[in-house]
Chain A
């Protein structure tokens, strides 16, 4: 792994440890020790994800599991050991299962968190209740989770084992090393408390309803959905989030399942508003021989802080519009419901963008540089010569006569984009009013002479 501009070893297997390599050693040194070393780049993020999975697995032994460092788990098994028949049985079960999964586990079990850490890292095994001091005494001082400088200092004084530290006078130690080593020692020996703080469970946005008898009527399914929704919305309320995408799974009696997905135009947690939006999806469900389990999950959530209501009434109008967009979105897809957004370009067709209304706010600040046509189409060639608009031309099978022309407005292509539409170079735009009434937006390309119609004015 790359750390502080040098490549260092992140972790190693047993064979490498036996060859004398250690963690944090630079890669060049390791290669010198062991020419046949095989390395892979470290992926700490994937390791962390795996450790989180392992933490979830470890919850089978006790509910109080915390991660420890980058490769450790800390379990507080107070009151949980007897469920597996005792501490020894629990340890062997743990080892057995881990071995089956291809993991090598080093487990330490002791009265205190510090002691268990020391055992796990330096002498895997179990210290019987009350035997902590005896079990720790022969271990090196590094087992006390000390700073590297403190360990070196203690070893220079000849205090190599935990037992030595225990029998030394405390006051000089505290003067020399500060409170750190003694606090760690006390924690390991149980004279000072240390809690295991388990990681917070991520909120789980799913609810389930199992029915004693299968149902098949639309009203029944709707009622079931309503109950699930009200429970889900309470969870969402607690965490100040709103659902963006909901997935309702209906399991049928024949073990087949049907899914209804609902994508919302805005994060929402109001059950009464979401339920009618499900209607269209539920109508298309084939219930078969009946549905006996329903599961509703918010597969995508977004933060939605609580808001003050009732001061201004405009919130109501927005909510109605969002509901409408959701219903339209279920029919034609939310990505086809669009807003205009101004864009920073002088190319007429790139001066605006259309973005999905569900994920963006409508754009403000429209300032057309000059009057622009209402409609734009891809350039349609017409016959014409010279730099002035043609007197007469045919466009879309209509014979038109120019009455008045305003222009030119020269627009240069954006050279940093290779836009095939602009291969002809500069454009001189003209507003041409015809005797027939049509007001067209023509352009002339002086670099590659030609005339085109690109838009129509009001």
Chain B
């Protein structure tokens, strides 16, 4: 069930990969408990986080950015932040595979401080110590009513359909869900795959059903 997997297990370090990893991290930030958030990255990375894009998920004033000079510094800062517990969530952008010792140290630090950690990893560079690993890919929203939801003359406000695949889970089963982030209400909706939506050929009788209820 999605509810068992998604608000990520607290005081653990999780991993996310795939092209939608940043969006996953943003949703996780929005779902974290109140308090500051820290986003750790290496200073050389050329792309930048855009706070004006983060506004759709959470208040960028909560975010502290740490630009570390090297991967080792980034991990040290992450461990410090996780162990301290002053921040609600630590997001770490990883650029090289972690060995078991580094992954385990992060996991222990997260447990000591009660802070949740989230590593954004390149594809296939996961660490065995991670509590769960997600692969997130954005999806083109083709469902019926898509055009109706788009106000004429404005950009579509809900074009955030994503496919979240839980590909590793230490304390439960894996799974895959299509989710959509609602920018207006700051809510994460699980949507049925296209074929099961009301109105489509393969939809179950009896009107709309929430996908997670239908699947469980």
Contacts and interface: CB of A to CB of B under 8 A. Distances in A.
B211 interface: no
A403 B138 CA distance: 13
Given A336-B66, A338-B64, A435-B140, A375 B51 contact: no
Interface stretch (B20-28, B104-112, B199-207): B20-28
B73 A352 contact: no
Given A374-B26, A374-B53, A377-B47, A433 B140 contact: yes
Interface string B174-196: 00000001010000000000000
Contacts of B159: 431, 433, 439, 457
A61 interface: no
Contacts of A368: 52-53, 55-56
A328 B84 CA distance: 11
B50 A455 contact: yes
B112 to A, nearest CB: 14
B144 interface: no
A317 B159 CA distance: 36
Interface in B125-159: 137-142, 155-157, 159
Contacts of A324: 80-81, 84, 86-87
A317 B142 CA distance: 45
A440 to B, nearest CB: 10
A431 B155 CA distance: 8
Contact of B53 (A357, A363, A438, A457): A457
B65 interface: yes
Contacts of B69: 332, 336
A363 B140 contact: no
B169 interface: no
Contacts of A431: 155, 159
Contact of B52 (A352, A406, A436, A456): A352
Given A348-B50, A366-B51, A371-B155, A321 B68 contact: no
B52 A332 contact: no
Contacts of B80: 324, 327-328, 331
B65 A337 contact: yes
Contacts of B59: 366
A340 B61 contact: yes
B49 interface: yes
A320 interface: yes
B51 A377 contact: no
If over half of A's interface residues share one DSSP class (helix, strand or loop), that class is named, otherwise mixed; here it is mixed
B100 interface: no
Interface in A368-392: 368, 370-378
A145 interface: no
Nearest to A353: B51
A455 B47 CA distance: 9
A457 B162 CA distance: 11
A352 B51 contact: yes
Contacts of B163: 437
Interface residues of A, number: 52
A372 B77 CA distance: 29
A331 B84 CA distance: 15
A336 B42 CA distance: 10
A406 B158 CA distance: 13
B56 A458 contact: yes
Contact of A332 (B46, B50, B67, B160): B67
Contacts of B140: 403-404, 433-437
Contacts of B57: 458
A331 B50 CA distance: 25
A321 B36 contact: yes
A438 B138 contact: yes
A437 B19 contact: yes
Interface in A424-458: 431, 433-439, 455-458
A362 interface: yes
Contacts of A406: 155-156
Nearest to B162: A458
A327 B73 CA distance: 12
Contacts of A321: 36, 64, 86-87
B76 interface: yes
Contact of B138 (A328, A367, A437): A437
A323 interface: yes
B35 interface: yes
Contacts of A241: none
A193 B70 CA distance: 70
A357 B66 CA distance: 10
A41 B177 CA distance: 78
B96 interface: no
A397 to B, nearest CB: 13
A325 interface: yes
A324 B57 CA distance: 25
A439 B47 CA distance: 16
A369 B156 CA distance: 14
A42 interface: no
Given A371-B155, A431-B155, A354 B52 contact: no
A104 to B, nearest CB: 56
The 7 A-B residue pairs with the shortest CB-CB distance in the complex, in nearest-first order: A458-B23, A362-B61, A320-B86, A377-B47, A340-B51, A372-B52, A374-B53
Given A331-B77, A368-B52, A436-B140, 17 more contacts: A320-B84, A321-B87, A324-B86, A327-B84, A328-B77, A331-B73, A362-B60, A368-B55, A374-B22, A377-B47, A378-B46, A434-B140, A437-B19, A439-B138, A457-B53, A458-B22, A458-B56
Interface of B: 19-20, 22-23, 26, 35-36, 43, 46-57, 59-69, 73, 76-77, 80-81, 84-87, 137-142, 155-157, 159-160, 162-163, 181, 183
23 contacts: A323-B84, A328-B66, A331-B76, A331-B80, A332-B69, A338-B65, A338-B66, A340-B65, A348-B50, A348-B52, A363-B61, A370-B155, A371-B183, A374-B49, A375-B53, A376-B47, A376-B49, A406-B156, A437-B19, A437-B163, A457-B53, A458-B56, A458-B181
